[in-house]
Structure 1
Amino acid sequence: MTADVHTMVGAYVLDAVTDLERAAVDRHLRDCEACRTEVDELRETTARLADGAWSVPPPRLRDNVLSAITTTRQTAPISPAAPSPVPAPGRSRLRLVSAAAAVVLAASGAATAVYVIQDQRVRTEQANVAAARADEALTRAVLGSPDLVLREDDVTGGGRVTVASSELQNAGVIMLAAASTPAGDKVYQLWTITPAGATSQGALPPGQTAAMKLVRGLPQSTGVGVTVEPPGGSPQPTSPLSAEVPLI
């Protein structure tokens, strides 16, 4: 899948592509389930936007508007004593056409806004995927590095935390495997420790007992800690630590 075809999905849903581009996207959709799902979601989104922006006009709306044109004043009086000017039918119709054109431009602007939002969403998803792949590649590099050092400690209540560190990769991996969830609906939280203090490396979701966390720059830390915290984690570690792995 090329980035060009992927980023045309939004325009494809809005029918804002050429025949050649439409054929390229159609061909791509036959082989890409992710893009087919995205097309379905975008079509649902645009349909919902249209539901709130369009309704069928009453049958007599056109006749009523044309009738009102000849009796509705289009400009303000010149002075209080001056008679109201008689509107010119041609000018009134021109203003009606201008209003209709404004409606069309507004609808076009809404479609453009939808495309911009969806295109930004695609770019964000692509960035997230690229970041996840970079993390995966670095994790493999750390675990396969010739200078890999493994350190570990037991977790209070059962289980173990293992820290894999590589000076060459300037990164490390924290692997937690606790035997059970903390009591009282609390969660495990990972920390890196330096002389300046502790930095959170993330709290586990409630009920989760295992995690693997890549930490760039881990060799500069003096240790890794595991604590039990309220759901969502804490800004600072709660004593005592459930596990602590010295790195020096």
Structure 2
Amino acid sequence: MTGAYALHALPDDEHAAFERHLAGCEPCARETAELSAAVARLGLTATVTPPAALREQVLRRIPCVRQEPPGVGTAVRAGRAGRRARPLSRWALAACLAAAAALGGTTVWQHQRAEDALHRASGARQGADEVAAVLAAPDARARTAALGGGATGTVVVSRGRDEAVFAATGMARPAAGKVYQLWFDHDGTMRPAGLMDPARTDQAVLLRGGVDGASGVGVTVEPAGGSSAPTSAPVALLGLPV
């Protein structure tokens, strides 16, 4: 079940049962961590250049999209259960977001929501491209560790680019008003390296600033907006791969 767990493909009951098993099985925990790291690297290195006319095509079709009647979405999802879905490219996802924003509103509202979705998708694509550049670097090296509670953390470093990425899977959401903050560890001295999205349990973040001789990466829980220095003990501390 390690492969299905790493791909988040287990039903809820099997997912919970496997996490209980992981707590007492070191071989499965190690294999799951390795597979989760591989999934993160393979998934994030795929980039697609959008067609030049995509934005105009999406906006032109928005007024023609009819709102789905109640119950249809549930029936469609139930009919598709158990079938493996084809992964969407980032820009296909952007088109879906724009179309979803259009359902059931006025033309002006539709247009604005579509614009917002496309802007967000553009920013997400730029960030994903930066992460992918590190993961695909010829000198990229990775280190993976279990973070507790079934979560897994992976640090990928490119010395040539002087950049690092932290990828996490299965992290519990922080408490309200809190955020996970990333740090470069310089032999016990922590340097701020960015914030994680508190709403996501699986994500990859390009660490802010160069690696610059750091020996590891730490994660702490901080007030929303982050701190200039850690205010809590690290929930994770990973040495950088050599």
Normalising by structure 1, we get a TM-score of 0.44
Question: Greater CA radius of gyration, 1 or 2?
Answer: 1
Q: Larger relative CO (CA 8 A, sep 6+): 1 or 2?
A: 2
Normalising by structure 2, we get a TM-score of 0.45
